[in-house]
Structure 1
């Protein structure tokens, strides 16, 4: 197939799971013989813009007519079989969907978060779960300044959500939800169930796996409130007060809490903050882990680091909500702690480190779960299946209900409820 991938790349100053997923899918498709081209914008480019162009960026968030013209011309010239849309904020906008309609090319879209129902996409406000905007107008998000703590910054996102909701729902043949938990939220908010398919992200073979008991507990990700970084610090302090767990905590990443994490880790023997790791060092750190910890306080739509740990044969300790409850089998491939509770997180971290034999057993089970549900071969199969469904739907060969009729469920679900995915 000929595939055009549309993506606004996140800033390179901090890790982006979405950028990683896009790059890995492109590489996977090309290796399988498909032709894949890219239509991209980069948030890094905003810094080099003139002041007038910078000022125009928020105005164009809901709709960028220049992008529509450019992309439509490209589609008419190249005639791909399908367009795969990822992130369109802030430099692309939902105008990419109009371009696909202009050129008559079917579109699929991966929903990496909750921006279809929540302007910042996190379903969280002030460190707590929030669904005020789900299923209704996004005015609460503006009132509370949910994006970057700013009403002004939130307003373009809220406007885009309101103005383009129906365009998304009618202009995309297939939505890829990256977890069943995410799909449930979106269907409950009124999105067309028949177009929402569960397609977990895959993870490439890491090339290195754990061979011993491990050397550290690893946090690998963005240093942000929603990722549970403060919760982790509180839990680790609780463990340290009772004698520790015998291995240090390694924190790798960057983000808004970097200064706070640096100050907290300074002078401690049981914590090492190592900054950003490149891909090779991430894989090495994962393979040397006793466990990976993912204590997110927001409802993660997926949780890539947990699956990366599985690929390395390492159990994870994760919050017992969102996608984590379908990625991890509690007590088998890792442990789930009560969300937002430092004591519960501390207890799970102690349990996963105190018994090496049980830890090794969970690591083996985690690797098997990866092979059955998140390997490249599984990922390729689901991508190709989704593309074929979208192409058939646009050509009249699909099984979407006629306009106005109610859908009764997903058209394909990536073997929901089996080891192949949920």
Structure 2
């Protein structure tokens, strides 16, 4: 009898060791396409890539879309839908229940869990599409849940803590009705009503309490969530997964570039209008040294910014290159002098900083949010006082005045710093293993 007990116990230990060393990890995001979702989608795919490289099995759960990356798990995906700004108010009202409590996503999740039996689930951005209601299904099946906080969705109905050009924290102490009264979501009453209802629903039904551990890509985001009432013991700082970009061997890095660069979404919270104003100051004082600003990306503020450039008579100095990705974007970054990310909202841990650093480019960021955590002041880049155009212009002048060699030294150090952050990938696996053991 004792021999049988020992044998059974040994088998259980062996099974647990195998289970921990080779986990089945469910990655969840509302988008399974690289055409949407920005940095959170990058993190979703990068995490999956890293896990596969380490020998773990990755299962995906998302929503259907014609531009989706191919996967055998798409048969389990929930039906996709669009919450674009062009949607009629009536259609938005009809979709309201689904954006708060997606029953179809819950049913599809149930089928996936029964068929695939993952060891752990890692959720990224799911709000208003898959909805946090799917966490209830995961808990029913005793699946540990990790959620990366790519934005402020767990404490702010519009995800940004930013409304009409200013930081906003009026929803603190669960005053989510402020989202509706201030029309915080895209200036729309209907969308803001959805945001308010969603926040109150998740609070009342404690959907986020199903999450075992939240991952914050920056210390700033963790501190802000704790300030809003979240349990600090349930939040761990883990940097986003990121694969450094290799520098092209054909580029002559000793040549001086003709431009400095902004790349990313063209929207009001990015502060590009202030960057253009800073360029105007340099242009008027002769400190621009015949260099130009290239703006790469697309977004709702492009026409407004083009009008600003025309009004300031900077058409020969500021150029809009449109949306670029892959090798095309890499080459533009490589040939630049430095990168400027002038955000006026609480950035979390922008991939743009890591991309620029991996290509050995100094980066200028504002002192708001988590961006400054990625910069070693004076060594890999510069930090300026947010909303201070004069200080931004001064920091740009500093980099323009540096020799090519000095900028290269900053770039090399920045690349080393960005590579240090990759160690957090191992941290994620250790977190998974700890939760699976419980």
Same topology, TM > 0.5: yes
The partner residue of 2:258 within 195, 215, 237 is: 215
Q: Distance in 1 between matches of 2:410 and 2:436?
A: 41
Answer yes or no: is 1:155 the counterpart of 2:186: no
Deviation, structure 1 residue 47: 5.0
Structure 1 pair 325–116 and aligned structure 2 pair: CA distance change class (3 A): same
Q: Distance in 1 between matches of 2:271 and 2:65?
A: 25
| Bigger shift: residues 171-180 or 72-81 | 72-81
**Alpha carbons 1:68, 1:95 under 8 Å: kept:** yes
Secondary structure of the structure 2 residue equivalent to 1:366 = helix
Q: Distance in 2 between matches of 1:348 and 1:10?
A: 39
For residue 81 of structure 2, what is the aligned residue in structure 1? 46
Deviation, structure 1 residue 370: 1.2
Q: Distance in 1 between matches of 2:401 and 2:417?
A: 23
The partner residue of 1:206 within 245, 256, 265 is: 245
For residue 24 of structure 2, what is the aligned residue in structure 1? 2
Structure 1 pair 245–102 and aligned structure 2 pair: CA distance change class (3 A): farther
Q: Distance in 2 between matches of 1:338 and 1:11?
A: 36
**Alpha carbons 2:93, 2:190 under 8 Å: kept:** no
| Superimposed CA distance per residue, residues 366-418 of structure 1 (whole angstroms, 9 cap, x where no aligned partner) | 11111212x3xx242022122123323xx3xxxxxxxxxxxxxxxxxxxxxxx
For residue 383 of structure 1, what is the aligned residue in structure 2? 428
Matches within 5 A, 1:234-383: 234-243=277-286, 244-265=288-309, 268-356=315-403, 357-373=405-421, 375=422, 378-383=423-428
Q: Distance in 1 between matches of 2:127 and 2:302?
A: 24
For residue 408 of structure 1, what is the aligned residue in structure 2? none
| Superimposed CA distance per residue, residues 194-237 of structure 1 (whole angstroms, 9 cap, x where no aligned partner) | 11010111321211167234332111100011011111121112
Secondary structure of the structure 2 residue equivalent to 1:61 = helix
TM-score, length-normalised on structure 1? 0.86
Q: Distance in 1 between matches of 2:64 and 2:165?
A: 28
**Alpha carbons 2:354, 2:418 under 8 Å: kept:** yes
**Alpha carbons 1:61, 1:157 under 8 Å: kept:** no
Structure 1 pair 317–6 and aligned structure 2 pair: CA distance change class (3 A): same
TM-score, length-normalised on structure 2? 0.83
Higher RCO (CA 8 Å, separation ≥ 6 residues): 1
Deviation, structure 1 residue 27: 1.7
Deviation, structure 1 residue 139: 1.2
Q: Distance in 1 between matches of 2:291 and 2:427?
A: 39
Secondary structure of the structure 2 residue equivalent to 1:89 = coil
**Alpha carbons 2:244, 2:419 under 8 Å: kept:** no
Q: How many residues get paired?
A: 390
Instruction: Please identify the structure whose Cα radius of gyration is greater.
Output: 2
